[in-house]
Structure 1
Amino acid sequence: MVSQRPSAAPRPLGKPFAVKLVSIPANPAPVGARVGTITTRDGVTLRFARFPPPPGRKGTVCLFPGRGEFIEKYFEVVHDLRTRGFAVAILDFRGQGLSQRAVRDGRKGHVGRFTDYLVDIETFVKEVVLPDCPPPFFALGQGMGATVLIESAARGHRWFDRMVLSGPMIDLAQRPLLGAAAPLARTLRLFGLGRLAAPGASRRPAALGPFTDNPATSDPVRHARIAAVVEAGPALAVAAPTIAWVDAAFRTMAAMQRPTYAARLRQPMLLVAGGSDTVVSTAAVESFGSHLRAGSHLIVPGARHELMMERDPIRALFWAAFDAFVPGTPLYG
């Protein structure tokens, strides 16, 4: 693996880390990876990786992970996409993976506003994707990454021909006291507490939690594999979001739930949600998808929040939907 940038990115306290991918026997890095760093216009250093397509094939899928995720979690997905003939490019959003953290406690996931993530996408596209990756360009987002892609499209950016969005965070699944969460986060932030961990949030990375009743996947092997990656590279992990992150997330979701938001989008997109998702609201995804003029939606029965990390039969349904929506994929083999 070769770094495109020789320097290392600063941690919150100025400590450098090596520009590398964490590769373990259970989750080896794909062959041909190029990994490096880029710096956004607001001075944040981001880690990225890109993977070439098979010989004679063109087109790039850009991967945008969910909250608290990191490049290494998607090695299997990279393999799936390259099998389909695509190059792949992926980044760690600010505050995640081995990208620069904004708070002293690097286990807390923090941004002041979700538009910060739009800066990450713009920098990534302009400095990595456009100069070094073969067109046409497609986007594949999970959870928070899917939400940020929708917001980017709503602001008129057309970096990608089509988007496939897994478990987009348009609204949260209903749970006790959820209605009080948004005003509480706003109030605490107004009192200057935005950098504190959200009340009640776990201080343990989700990947290290028990398999039983986890909201991400019903596949024990993939759950254990992701935990092994975090154990091998503890710096990758993020646990609780900050109050500011929660406030920013609720504000973004509230905007997406306005009646005219989805109808104004002109970006072709496919929303895929899990029928057993307890993280985001499947009903909200269905409602949003039904109002799209240039897109559609699919609910996969039995799937939890992270469809690309699910059991093989569920993943097969996800990839069938991807192949039907993204031009060129039916020809892979």
Structure 2
Amino acid sequence: MDDHGDVLQLNPPPAGLAFDHITTPSGARLRYALCGLQQKPIRGTVCLFQGRGEFIEKYFETIADLRRRNYAVAALDWRGQGGSSRLLRNSRKGHIKSFAQYDEDLVSFMRAVVLPDCPPPYYALAHSTGGSIVLRALPRRSWFQKVVVLAPLLGINARGVPEGPARCLARTGKLLGLGDAFVPGTGRHHLDHLSVEKSVLTSDPRRFARTAALAKAFPDMAIGGPTIGWLCAALDCIDAFHRDFPAKADFQTPVLMVLAGNEKVSDNQAARRFARRMRSISLIEIKGARHEILMERDFYREQLWAAFDSFLEEESSWRYEEVA
């Protein structure tokens, strides 16, 4: 059996999953997937937003988990990764010029796909970079009845490198015209060259092997490390969160923030500081879990799904109103 056949056995697509594309006003071609829109009963639509470097196939198990809960699912590949447009000739580079481009992706997806085609109410389940993109939208958008963000990128864990020098090196590299270069130490590393013991993403051997098999079977979907330009854009986004949101501010939308206790990618302290300033954010930590909680061992995933179910089942008043 070929690689595609092997990976389909490891990672079967959910029944009824359908892929398509939209084009943003700036010309980016975005791949998305829908699942369960016509099946009854439907409790609404969960919009699934991935982290940097991911792609929809990696979330087949999560989509199936949501379908078992009777939610329709709408999932998106951000530009620069998965089946969506790349910004550089080298398609393995994880690049973005500004998070405003991700903002455009989100608005385009919601307006062209979710609002006209998917059953309300709408919820968001967003991981890492996806969590930051969704949180950026909440002051001006009331699409979602509730939002769950997992290990959101509200600060970067530099793993022993002091934050100040790391920021200075990134900014200097961009000024020197190196914005399209890989962040030093990342490069074109492939998942199949790593081991679960060394992974900062998950401690689950089976799910780690599944993701590595997906990256090998679909090399055009997976990307390598971030560029210096992507890192600078992420730092700009992070700085805006901590600069532009006043103490005891609020979103219109209730948010559940779930942190990974054994986090080596995002900065949990920065996430806690932000959550303390926002009345609408509830925060929990899953002790021992690594960054990709949805790809973790069942022991951790069960805690996450219990929190997700409890949060979404709480009563709340909601109406959709878009602010220009």
Q: What TM-score comes out, normalization by structure 2 length? A: 0.90
Match of 2:30 among 46, 56, 67: 46
**Residue type at the aligned position of 1:287:** R
Q: Give me the whole-angstrom Cα distance separating, in 1, the residues matched to 2:159 and 2:76.
A: 31
Which stretch shifts more, 180-189 or 117-126?
Answer: 180-189
Which stretch shifts more, 45-54 or 219-228?
Answer: 45-54
CA shift for structure 1 position 327: 3.0
CA shift for structure 1 position 32: 0.5
Aligned to 1:69: 54
CA shift for structure 1 position 328: 7.2
Q: Give me the whole-angstrom Cα distance separating, in 1, the residues matched to 2:8 and 2:273.
A: 41
Aligned to 1:8: none
> For the structure 1 residues 237 and 264, does the alpha-carbon distance in structure 2 shift closer, same or farther, using more than 3 Å as the test?
same
Contact 2:275 2:282 in 1 (8 A): yes
Provide structure 2 residue ranges, at least 5 long, that are not aligned to the other structure. Answer: 1-5, 316-324
Contact 2:263 2:289 in 1 (8 A): yes
Which stretch shifts more, 22-31 or 79-88?
Answer: 22-31
CA shift for structure 1 position 208: 5.0
Contact 1:206 1:239 in 2 (8 A): no
Match of 1:34 among 12, 15, 18: 18
Contact 2:191 2:215 in 1 (8 A): no
Which stretch shifts more, 227-236 or 168-177?
Answer: 168-177
User: Matches of residues 86-235 of structure 1 in structure 2 within 5 Å?
Assistant: 86-154=71-139, 156-179=140-163, 180-206=165-191, 208-235=193-220
Work out whether 1:311 is the aligned partner of 2:306. Answer: no
Contact 2:156 2:267 in 1 (8 A): yes
**Residue type at the aligned position of 1:35:** F
> For the structure 1 residues 62 and 239, does the alpha-carbon distance in structure 2 shift closer, same or farther, using more than 3 Å as the test?
same
Work out whether 1:297 is the aligned partner of 2:283. Answer: yes
CA shift for structure 1 position 175: 2.5
Aligned to 1:9: none
Q: Give me the whole-angstrom Cα distance separating, in 2, the residues matched to 1:70 and 1:207.
A: 16
Aligned to 1:13: none
CA shift for structure 1 position 260: 3.6
Aligned to 2:43: 58
Work out whether 1:240 is the aligned partner of 2:225. Answer: yes
Contact 1:262 1:289 in 2 (8 A): no
Identity score, percent: 41
Q: Give me the whole-angstrom Cα distance separating, in 1, the residues matched to 2:214 and 2:314.
A: 32
Aligned to 1:11: none
Aligned to 2:260: 274
Aligned to 1:24: 8
CA shift for structure 1 position 200: 2.0
Count matched residues.
308
Say which SS state the counterpart of residue 33 (structure 2) adopts.
strand
CA shift for structure 1 position 259: 7.9
CA shift for structure 1 position 177: 2.5
Q: Give me the whole-angstrom Cα distance separating, in 1, the residues matched to 2:269 and 2:231.
A: 21
Q: What TM-score comes out, normalization by structure 1 length? A: 0.88
Say which SS state the counterpart of residue 15 (structure 2) adopts.
coil
CA shift for structure 1 position 191: 2.3
Aligned to 2:66: 81
Provide structure 1 residue ranges, at least 5 long, that are not aligned to the other structure. Answer: 1-21
